[in-house]
Structure 1
Amino acid sequence: MERLAKPVTRPLTGEEYLESLRDGRRVLFQGEWVKDVTTHPAFRNAARSIARLYDALHAAETRDTLLTTDRLGISTHKFFTPAYSPADLLGARDAIALWQRMSFGWMGRTPEYKAAFMATLGADPDYYAPFADTARNWYRECASKVLFMNHVIVDPPVDRNRPPSEARDVYVHVVRETDGGIVVSGAKQVATASALTHATFVGVNSGSAARLQEGRDDDLALVFFVRMDNPRQILISRASYELKAESPFDSPLASRFDENDAFLVLDEAFIPWEDVLVYRDVPKAKRFYADSGFFNRFNFQTTIRMAIKTEFMLGLLQKSLECNGTADFRGNQVMVGEIVAMRHLFWSIVTAMAHDPEPSLGGSVVPRLEYAAAARIYTNFAWDRIRQIYERLLGGAPIINVSNYRDLLNPEVQPILERYLRGTGMPAKERSKLYKLVWDAMYSEFAGRHGLYELNYAGNHEQKYLDALSWAERRGLMDQFEALVDECLAQYDLDGWKDLAWSWSPDGSA
């Protein structure tokens, strides 16, 4: 995993993080194997954006907000250890927010995302018996170094009309078992930012797990880790928006915050027993996703991130309207106010998640499932509405810009640009810079990928609602809702009110 001169038993520094990525991982990009993701122009700036997070763990002005000491005496990021009280969750909230503000909410799979699961391993390792030691050891390693984990829990969109057992040529499954571990083959998606991580978590999400059946799909009922230097793990990366970004002026977000997604293939990859959490156990493969508290916790992280990203988009929209001279138009203020309300809603859910948690494994607490389910739905669908508002209020203004930064350096056309491309009280260069940022956030290829990410990272559009309903049924909430209606129905009949507190007569008189 890491090729450092000395074993590290504390949070990595930025430089140590970058060094740890030079481990021979197999990343395919544009027909070639990437020799070093920390220097390759498709990945290097994103890697340095992550390295800045690690440096913040050691900086005097930020480390107290970010770090805590867990019950084992490990100094770690506050979201990398289980929470045991609302105060712990509030501390984690502030640590997540500090990291997220460093990328303005534009990097969704930063290290604390998968810490939503990895921390739960420390709360009750025995839940994963007979692989309790796997949970225990991975928690220690992850917490002590603040490891960056990626995850793949979605089956490829192939043969989904057939039972999983009939798609073994594609889906991750056990090929054979050995004394030292298991050999697995198959593919998973979407391995976001995986080229820059320390290990892959392979599991099943709620939608995939629902299709598994005991006695038929046991060889697919797996949860395990794959270290990035595994020679039989292949990452097939999509196009790099960072690579296409010619300058920060033209692509201020894509040039440094592109979390390159990958299609992950395991080609008879050997997984030692010490990296296995669930093996041939359909019931546990179905339950762990909810039982672990991962769902509750990852929505805590994503809601904080989305609140910060919404704040960024609010500031960007307001500055753009001021540039156009339309910030005081009543209709524009109405829609800006709508996004303000979204921002308040997200932070309110975060507050409820922290102050009103529910018990979880090993005496820990996690954000309440009902709040997590609601956050999952409303944060995922918010982005479409934000983009819609941008399109209505800014119209064609984002299109009107120079081709790239070199146009602004041409002395012959500078007077023309200054006259016709200026903003309201804003010189042409600053107006161009502002709207280049709008374009990168809303309309570039990088922005298009973010639209897909925000809508789908937490599951398909139907599963989000189905899960909310299913969990409400399992917890008896739907019975409570119906009981409330039954109480109302029981208070009257054809003869009138049954409670003397109200009066009624057939002719309508009191």
Structure 2
Amino acid sequence: MIRTGEQFRDSLRDGREIWINGERVEDPSTHPQIKPAVDARAYIYDMQHDTKTKAAMTYEENGEDFAIGLRLPFEQQDWQDKRDAVDLITHNLGGVVTRVGDETIGEMWSLWDGKDILNEIDPRFAENIERHIHQAIKFDPFHVSANTDPKGDRSKAPQDQDPDMLVHVVKETDAGIVIRGAKFETAAAYSNQAFLKPTIANWGDSELSDYALGCIVKMDAPGIKHICRSGFAGASGACPRANQQDYPLANKFDEIDTLMILDDVLVPWEDVLFYQHTKAASFIRATLHRYSAFPYVQRTLSYADLIIGAALWNVKQTGLEKQQAVQEKLSELAVWREGINAFLTAAIATAETSPNGLAMPNQSLLFSGRVHALTNLPKMMHLARELCGGQICVTPDANTFAAADTKPWMDKFYSINEKWVADDRRKLLALARDLLNSDYAGHRLTFQLFAQSPPFAQLAAVYRNFDWDGPLDFAHKAAGLSDRMK
């Protein structure tokens, strides 16, 4: 049941209510600021059918082909196959897209691991999550994750302010529950469904809360409004053609973030994964990223490769790669990159068995790798800026390189030799600028640091999963402490 890119585009033409820049969007697949992200996702769908890439992108079961990213992982090879597919996607696209579905389906696997908890509450909930996991595999939707609330005044309980600041249930019906509130979610406007879940445990000591909610929401459901931030595609410069040349990443890989308004949306009972019970909500918040962190950190590894490549080409074009100071900076980038690679590789090699029998990446290694990747990202981007030099912030636009009156001067001062001519240097500097210096680069840096929870929560995940007993026992023995200390 793997989809084609055109089938994905058709699925978005369902009358959903989308707003961007204050205007209603009739077709997200053709809107100039949303279309690039839709095209990237459609390209991934088409890779599942292309004879050159199908073997890496799909697996066969009972005579049918399914997406490798949605496959339930039962052994280490399953994770390696997923990793190979993501590498193929980023290299074929020529850039990094984060929200495409395989990095969010794992959040549902996490909830499935808690089926014993769900069964204590209501056996229907465990049945619902299992059915939705298999439906995702069968029907291959673009599945995202509705996570972050508008927040409001966090010094107050939800019920002590506008209650809609956090998504909650306002009514039960025979058909399902009616929910109200809002969520921020990247790619919601051009996805098919979202796993909606509570952001924080704001229910105090209560066992039940209308805010403790997890469910599947269809993006075209009545009552849903998608209010998007303005996109970066075509946002700089008067000439679209020049803009695409000057900002090659922003115009191809900007993933639009959405404030998803839920205005009395009916969620059928079969789409409710947990409701009211704070124990289930606490479980999913504590284990949310046990699988999804892996493809997410792998995207950061691809981003590291892009940073290293742009920096290295910039020093090679001017003949500086032999200088020791330059090699030291490149080595720092390489150590960061290889650290991410090592954490990912080790997390697979020492995979654990989850409560539901899935092959779960080693949690301590995976979450430590996430911290290593993201806390060092700002430093590594600045290091790459040093290697690229000041020309990434002073170079004129593509129109200047093409205009008859200015082209001779650009050719003269931007050509180094027969190998490095002005046009290639302009392309390289444009890539480095968009990767490191542009509005898109700043947005992506912030997104990378917080998209899988803020740094303190990432460190908390390490704290919960690190084996503290080993170091304690070692120090206990080395100091000769009595057994009373244990």
Give TM-score, length-normalised by structure 2: 0.91
The residue aligned with 1:283 is 279
Q: Using the alignment, how far apart are the partners of 1:290 and 1:361 within structure 2?
A: 14
**Does the CA contact (< 8 Å) of 2:110 and 2:290 recur in 1?**
no
**Does the CA contact (< 8 Å) of 1:380 and 1:456 recur in 2?**
no
Q: In the alignment, is residue 117 of structure 1 matched against residue 111 of structure 2?
A: no
Percent identity, please.
25
**Does the CA contact (< 8 Å) of 1:26 and 1:231 recur in 2?**
no
RMSD: 2.2
Counterpart among 319, 324, 345 of residue 330 in structure 1 = 324
Question: Larger deviation: 88-97 or 444-453?
Answer: 88-97
1:119 offset after TM fit, Å? 5.0
Alpha-carbon deviations, 1:197-238, whole Å to 9, x = none?
A: 111221134xx13x4334376100000111011121112111
Question: Larger deviation: 46-55 or 24-33?
Answer: 24-33
Aligned residue runs from structure 1 range 446-457, under 5 A:
446-457=440-451
Question: Larger deviation: 51-60 or 136-145?
Answer: 136-145
Q: In the alignment, is residue 36 of structure 1 matched against residue 27 of structure 2?
A: yes
**Does the CA contact (< 8 Å) of 1:165 and 1:216 recur in 2?**
no
1:263 offset after TM fit, Å? 1.4
The residue aligned with 2:42 is 51
Cα distance change on mapping 1:95 and 1:127 into 2, 3 Å: farther
**Structure 2: gaps (5+ residues):** none
Aligned residue runs from structure 1 range 89-238, under 5 A:
89-118=79-108, 128=118, 129-167=123-161, 168-189=163-184, 191-205=185-199, 208-209=200-201, 211-215=202-206, 218-238=209-229
The residue aligned with 1:359 is 353
**Does the CA contact (< 8 Å) of 2:97 and 2:253 recur in 1?**
yes
Aligned-partner residue type, residue 407 of structure 2: Q
Q: Using the alignment, how far apart are the partners of 1:302 and 1:233 within structure 2?
A: 27
Q: Using the alignment, how far apart are the partners of 1:284 and 1:13 within structure 2?
A: 36
Question: Larger deviation: 445-454 or 81-90?
Answer: 81-90
Q: State the secondary structure of the residue aligned to 2:70.
A: coil
**Does the CA contact (< 8 Å) of 2:168 and 2:211 recur in 1?**
yes
Q: State the secondary structure of the residue aligned to 2:303.
A: helix
Give TM-score, length-normalised by structure 1: 0.87
1:124 offset after TM fit, Å? 8.1
The residue aligned with 2:74 is 84
Aligned-partner residue type, residue 31 of structure 1: G
Alpha-carbon deviations, 1:373-431, whole Å to 9, x = none?
A: 112211222320221102323331212312x3222221222221111123465111111
Q: Using the alignment, how far apart are the partners of 1:252 and 1:436 within structure 2?
A: 7
Alpha-carbon deviations, 1:337-378, whole Å to 9, x = none?
A: 111112211111111121211111432111011112112211
**Does the CA contact (< 8 Å) of 1:77 and 1:95 recur in 2?**
no
Aligned-partner residue type, residue 406 of structure 2: V
**Does the CA contact (< 8 Å) of 2:307 and 2:384 recur in 1?**
no
**Does the CA contact (< 8 Å) of 1:26 and 1:33 recur in 2?**
yes
Q: In the alignment, is residue 380 of structure 1 matched against residue 371 of structure 2?
A: no
1:90 offset after TM fit, Å? 1.6
Counterpart among 303, 319, 328 of residue 309 in structure 1 = 303
1:105 offset after TM fit, Å? 5.0
Q: Using the alignment, how far apart are the partners of 2:203 and 2:353 within structure 1?
A: 28
**Does the CA contact (< 8 Å) of 1:82 and 1:123 recur in 2?**
no
Aligned-partner residue type, residue 181 of structure 1: G
Alpha-carbon deviations, 1:479-499, whole Å to 9, x = none?
A: 33222111111089xxxxxxx
Q: State the secondary structure of the residue aligned to 1:110.
A: coil
Q: State the secondary structure of the residue aligned to 1:265.
A: strand
Q: State the secondary structure of the residue aligned to 1:234.
A: strand
1:121 offset after TM fit, Å? 6.9
Question: Larger deviation: 50-59 or 116-125?
Answer: 116-125
1:290 offset after TM fit, Å? 4.3
